[in-house]
Structure formats: structure tokens, C-alpha cells
Amino acid sequence: MPLLIGIALLLALLIKTFLVQAFSIPSDSMQDTLQRGDRVLVDKLTPWFGSEPERGEVVVFHDPGGWLEDAETPDPNVVQKFLSFIGLMPSAEEKDLIKRVIAVGGDTVECKKGGKVQVNGHPLNESGHIYPGNTACDDEPFGPIHVPQGRIWVMGDHRQNSLDSRYHQELPGRGTVSTDEVVGRAFVVAWPLNRWSLLPVPDTFDQPGLSTAASVASAAAPGAMGLAGAVPLVLWRRRRLTGGSTAG
């Protein structure tokens, strides 16, 4: 029996470390998608194979620095700490956040008061996931912001109750989060049972041209640099040929 218990605990620890981890939702910033007290399961496996966060995904990430400095950290007892360590209970001590990815590296994102969030010039239809009665960004308009490679721009679904990327633009990264800080994607609400549901990517993030615009913008920079370098060379060759012809 002790051996079986030991194997079970070891398996739980391995699953929590490399496969799936449970997290508890501590606030209302992701309503109505997630409610305070929900338990979500987070995929930690695919990042090991180089998977990067994608637009529309709900992700858990470590505090990039300064986002949760005023937040109170719970003080669990010894049993809670142990169960959390092996993955049988959601983490209570770690300062983690959960938000929706709006833009990824290479994207340009902005939102003007009274308007919609735009990614690479394409407006997002967010009526299916933002909190009823909320506006896209009227409480804190922003942008345009160019998201550097290896970083993401995140926002809560309860826009008027979420201290997300918009409110941390004075920090290093201008409100963006490094993908190295991302724990993984939340893919299912596992508890309570009457709240069980998957967390799919909203259709608006799959609209045609959204990714193409970012790819074109990224490719345009090297092309422009090449063109800038080629123009002087062409002019020099033309001047040389013209000079040779006149002298002859």
C-alpha cells in the first residue's frame, strides 16, 4: 500500500509538472467566460514542444513584474501546500494571472474609445466573449501598440474590471507579456461540475487576413531594408555606365 501511494503521488507530481495543472480563478476579470472560484485545467505539455500562445486563447502566466504587487497572497496550511505541490489542489501561493491573448509577436493592436479592438487593422467581433454590457476598451483606450516577437498582448473578458496589458504600459514591455512567462493554455473548466465546459478560441480570431497582415508587415521590413541598400548601388552603376559612354 505505501508503495502504491508513493507511485500515485509521483504520477500526480509528474502530471502537474509536465502535462496538466489545475488553477483556481481568484477574481472576476474573466467573466462571464470564467467565474470567481472556477477551477481550470491548463495544458503544460504543448509548450515543451515549442507551441506558442495564439490569439484568442485563454492562458495562465506568471506575474511579469508589477502586475500583482498590491494583491494579497493566500496563506495555505501545510496540507494545502503539499496537495498543491503534487498537483492535487490548485496553486494558492503562486502569483499567476489568467487572461485572453489578443495579439501575438509581430501584431499591431489598438482600440479607440467607442470602437472595437483592432489587430493588424482588422476589428474583432467580441460580443460572444466579453462581459455583457462592457465596451471593448472605453475605460482604457490604447495603441497602436506593436507587439515584439516573443511577447503577447492580453486582456480580460470583463473589460471594465480587468487590470490587463492596457494598465501596465509604463512597465518594461509596455504591457506585453513574455511567452517565457506563460504556464500554458487553459482548455477546460473542470470544477464545479455544473460549470464544466471547454474554452475554445472565438471565431473572430480566425477571420481571414488577420495573420496574413502580420506576416506581410514582418516581411516588409527586411524587404524595405534591401531596397534601401539596392538603390545606391543601382545609381552608382548607372552613373558609372553613363560616365564611360560620354568619355568614349
pLDDT in tens, 114-146: 999 999 999 999 999 999 999 999 999 998 999
Whether 116 is catalytic: no
pTM: 0.76
* pLDDT given for residue 81 in this prediction: 58
For the chain, percent of residues with pLDDT exceeding 70? 69
Whether 113 is catalytic: no
**DSSP assigned state of 211:** H
pLDDT in tens, 154-186: 999 999 999 999 999 999 899 999 999 999 999
The residue annotated as part of the active site, out of 16, 24, 29, 91, is 29
The residue annotated as part of the active site, out of 99, 116, 162, 211, is 99
Cα–Cα distance measured from residue 24 to residue 53, given in angstroms and rounded to the nearest whole number: 20
Query: How many other C-beta atoms lie within 10 A of the C-beta of residue 136?
Result: 21
* pLDDT given for residue 219 in this prediction: 46
Cα–Cα distance measured from residue 83 to residue 109, given in angstroms and rounded to the nearest whole number: 40
Whether the per-residue pLDDT at 217 is higher than 50: the answer is no
Whether the per-residue pLDDT at 222 is higher than 70: the answer is no
Tell me phi and psi for residue 151, to 5 degrees. Answer: -135, 165
Judge whether 120 and 213 are in contact, CB under 8 Å. Answer: yes
Judge whether 210 and 42 are in contact, CB under 8 Å. Answer: no
DSSP calls for 162-204: ---GGGGTTSTTTT-EEGGGEEEEEEEEEESGGG-EE-PPPGG
Query: How many other C-beta atoms lie within 10 A of the C-beta of residue 210?
Result: 19
* pLDDT given for residue 72 in this prediction: 56
* pLDDT given for residue 66 in this prediction: 87
Find where cell 495544458 sits.
43
**Alpha helix positions (H), 87-209:** none
pLDDT average, residue stretch 25-45: 91
Whether the per-residue pLDDT at 188 is higher than 80: the answer is yes
> Higher pLDDT residue, 23 or 99?
99
Q: All 3 cell numbers of residue 239?
A: 552613373
* pLDDT given for residue 235 in this prediction: 38
Cα distance between the two ends of the chain: 101
Cα–Cα distance measured from residue 161 to residue 215, given in angstroms and rounded to the nearest whole number: 33
Judge whether 101 and 53 are in contact, CB under 8 Å. Answer: yes
Whether the per-residue pLDDT at 242 is higher than 50: the answer is no
* pLDDT given for residue 105 in this prediction: 96
pLDDT in tens, 37-48: 999 999 988 876
